[in-house]
Structure 1
Amino acid sequence: MRLSDPVALRGYAHPLRMALIGLLRREGPMTATRAAERLGENVPNCSFHLRQLAKYGLAERAPAGDARERPWRATAFVTSWDDASDDPQVRAATDALNTTQLAQYTRQAEEFLARRADESTRWRAVTRFSDTSLYVTADELAALTERMDALLAEYDGRIADPSSRPADARRVTLVQLALLGAPAATDGDTAPGDGGATQGDSDTAVPDGR
């Protein structure tokens, strides 16, 4: 699902709506009542936001085995949007959406860190925070992103088909942030925080995500 309309972009830029879509993608069709239970929200609130998601094409009614139930499902496994638009309205809307998404990532990381001590050493060793500074052109960064996307796509089948997952598999979110350094930076200069931890240096963890 690719969003391009500013109204739809702003409509999706809501923490509960993002959480609802993530829940439907992870666990499949469910009613607003069940979604409210899973997210710790009230039912009327979830019902309202599910209807709004349907308005923007992100959710729809799913077939129900029981006439009393009215489940919802996500219309797609992935939502994307154009961050390179020159349209001021689209740029403002995507900025709002990206800000909401970043807040979601931060919340998920904080929740994981709060329970990190309960995880096994095996999982703590392979989930972490890290950052690396690169000097690349825009075309090289685009090519690198495509290569990473292709690698991750090898596991897409396990999203739709739970039976294809190994017995010990867990849901993991890999967050990709490509952040430009200040234009005045020169070779040899490193902005505070850049390259602070390379892969393998950090013993902290990234949480199970959306």
Structure 2
Amino acid sequence: MELNDPRSLRAYAHPLRLKLIGLLRSEGPMTATRAAAALGDNVPNCSFHLRQLAKYGFAERVPGADGRERPWRATSPSTSWADDSDDQDMRAATDQLNSVLLDDYTRRARDYLAARGDEPAEWRAAAGFGDALVHVTAAELRALTEEMEALIGRYADRMADPALRPEGSRLIQIIQMAVPR
């Protein structure tokens, strides 16, 4: 799903909404009750924010196992937006969303560090942090980003089809930042 208006970007840029849509994408359809339990939040709050996600087309209702269950699902496996707008409202909205995402990425990294000691040695060795300094043009940076996305894209089908996931695989979040120094 491509976001191209400030209102949708701002609606998406809510910490709980980002967690909810991430949960629906990684775990599949679920009720507000199940989402609240998974996120450590309350049902009315999750229900409200799921309705807001639906209002902007990020989530939708799906049939439940029985007539009383009312699960939600994500309408798209991913969300993207352009960061190159000359429109001041769009820039402000993308900056707001990117800031909320950066806070979430930082929280996830700290959560991992807090639990890292409990991970098996093979996972501690495989996961981690790193950075690189390179001198590139804007066009080269765009090409580099596209190459990294293509590498990660080789594993995208495993999100939609659990049967394609090898034994021992885990859900991993790869966070990409390319920022000028």
TM-score by length of 2: 0.99
Offset, 1:32 = 0.3
Offset, 1:62 = 1.1
Deviations 1:58-102 (A, max 9, x none): 000012121001000000110011100111000000000000000
* Mapping for residues 1-210 of structure 1, pairs under 5 Å: 1-181=1-181
- Where 2:169 maps in the other structure, the secondary structure is coil
- Where 1:60 maps in the other structure, the secondary structure is strand
- Where 2:18 maps in the other structure, the secondary structure is helix
- Where 2:60 maps in the other structure, the secondary structure is strand
Write out the 4+ residue segments of structure 1 that deviate beyond 6 Å after TM superposition.
Answer: none
- Which structure has more relative contact order (CA 8 Å, sep 6+)? It is 1
Q: Which structure would you say has the larger Rg? A: 1
Q: Distance in 2 between matches of 1:56 and 1:81?
A: 14
Unaligned runs of 5+ in 2: none
Unaligned runs of 5+ in 1: 182-210
Q: Distance in 1 between matches of 2:110 and 2:144?
A: 29
Offset, 1:126 = 1.0
Question: 1:191 maps to which residue?
Answer: none
TM-score by length of 1: 0.85
Deviations 1:152-202 (A, max 9, x none): 111011000001000100011110000101xxxxxxxxxxxxxxxxxxxxx
Higher helix proportion:
2
Amino acid corresponding to residue 145 of structure 1 in structure 2: T
Q: Distance in 2 between matches of 1:132 and 1:25?
A: 30
- The number of aligned residues is 181
- Where 2:155 maps in the other structure, the secondary structure is coil
Cα RMSD (Å) of the superposition?
0.6
